[in-house]
Structure 1
Amino acid sequence: MGDHKEQGINIDPAFVRALAELLDDTQLSEIEVEDGDRKVRVARTLTAAAPVAFAPAAVPVAAPAAATAAPAASVAPAADRFVDAVKSPMVGTVYLAPEPGAANFASAGAAVKEGDTILIIEAMKVMNPITAPKSGTLQAVHVENSQPVEFDQPLFTIG
């Protein structure tokens, strides 16, 4: 039918195309399927967009000539926003709660201790707990429940 014989295994081009479409649909960078002694891996190279820093919008202010303008507040560039963030160690799907309908492991503003589970990442049907690397306050969670994540993507920040 559509099978091709290469290096001793049958390759179904339609199956490979379906896996490639799955990569696009889930925004993953690679997928590997194993069936007995057959193994198919489809991967794509992702190009990272350069971080964009946004300057605050200029607001025209009518002031008397004698008035002194206050110095503008310092705005951190977008690239610095995630400097202290804990980043994803793998590609997978984030879950903020241990099971559907349960309360989240932690929410922004909550006190956490080193080793506390903050979220889990499902990768290849394995649930991987992502824990707090230090004690402090969970300042922000940068992902949403059931969101696919890439390697090194910011997950949360503890201050």
Structure 2
Amino acid sequence: MGDHKDNGINIDPAYVRALAELLDDTQLSEIEVEDGDRKVRVVRTLTAAPVAYAPAPVAAPAAAPAVAAAPAAAAPAVDSFADAVKSPMVGTVYLSPEPGAPNFAAVGSAVKAGDTILIIEAMKVMNPIVAPAAGTLKAVHVENSQPVEFDQPLFTIS
């Protein structure tokens, strides 16, 4: 009853779901499994693709100070977020795995590449946001339970 027949191949939906969960757990974009005549490929669209647009907003404020001297005071604030990890999606930020639990990481603590720093909940899905590289967590630019927008600075590691 759980198997579906498609082009002469039995497909187990639970197996496909398990592969999809594996993609989420490992943050891979696709997985392909072959077993004799069976070949199952599961692909997900990464939310990181829009991050390619991140350099454009950073470049635009750099041109603004050349137009007028007054915005120069705002330039350091923009520069302080230049190295920040930015939100790949719109959602709600959670700094700890559950209410009342300690935060994933504290400012000043050492983090390894791949360590979860915070979670963004989007459409009832908890998306871990991880450290892109090893270093020290210098700043967290958001508060717990705060809504965030795409490309909003989340934290800085150096």
TM-score, normalised to structure 1, is: 0.54
| CA deviation after TM superposition for structure 1 residue 157, in Å | 0.3
- Structure 2 equivalent of residue 108 of structure 1: 107
Counterpart of 1:130, as a letter, is I
- Structure 1 equivalent of residue 26 of structure 2: none
Structure with the largest fraction of helix: 2
- Structure 2 equivalent of residue 157 of structure 1: 156
SS in 1 for 2:99: coil
Counterpart of 1:114, as a letter, is A
- Structure 1 equivalent of residue 73 of structure 2: 54
Q: Is the 8 A contact 1:97 1:119 kept in 2?
A: yes
- Structure 2 equivalent of residue 130 of structure 1: 129
SS in 2 for 1:78: helix
Question: Which whole-Å deviations, capped at 9, do the CAs of 1:17-69 have from their partners, x for residues lacking one?
Answer: xxxxxxxxxxxxxxxxxxxxxxxxxxxxxxx9x965537xxxxxxxxxxxxxx
Question: Which whole-Å deviations, capped at 9, do the CAs of 1:100-155 have from their partners, x for residues lacking one?
Answer: 00000001000000000000000000000000000000000000000000000000
Question: Which runs of no fewer than 5 residues in structure 2 stay unpaired?
Answer: 1-56, 62-70
SS in 1 for 2:129: strand
SS in 1 for 2:128: strand
* Match runs of 1:10-159 below 5 Å: 53-54=72-73, 77-159=76-158
Structure 1 segments of 4+ aligned residues over 6 angstroms from their partners: none
| CA deviation after TM superposition for structure 1 residue 77, in Å | 1.8
Counterpart of 1:125, as a letter, is K
Counterpart of 2:155, as a letter, is F
What percentage of aligned pairs have identical amino acids? 81
Distance 1:136 1:98 in 2: 21
Question: Which runs of no fewer than 5 residues in structure 1 stay unpaired?
Answer: 1-47, 56-75
Note closer, same or farther for the CA distance 1:93–1:53 as it changes in structure 2 (3 Å cut). farther
Counterpart of 1:109, as a letter, is G
Counterpart of 1:138, as a letter, is L
Distance 2:132 2:80 in 1: 18
- After superposition, the CA RMSD in angstroms is 1.9
Counterpart of 1:156, as a letter, is F
TM-score, normalised to structure 2, is: 0.54
Larger-Rg structure: 1
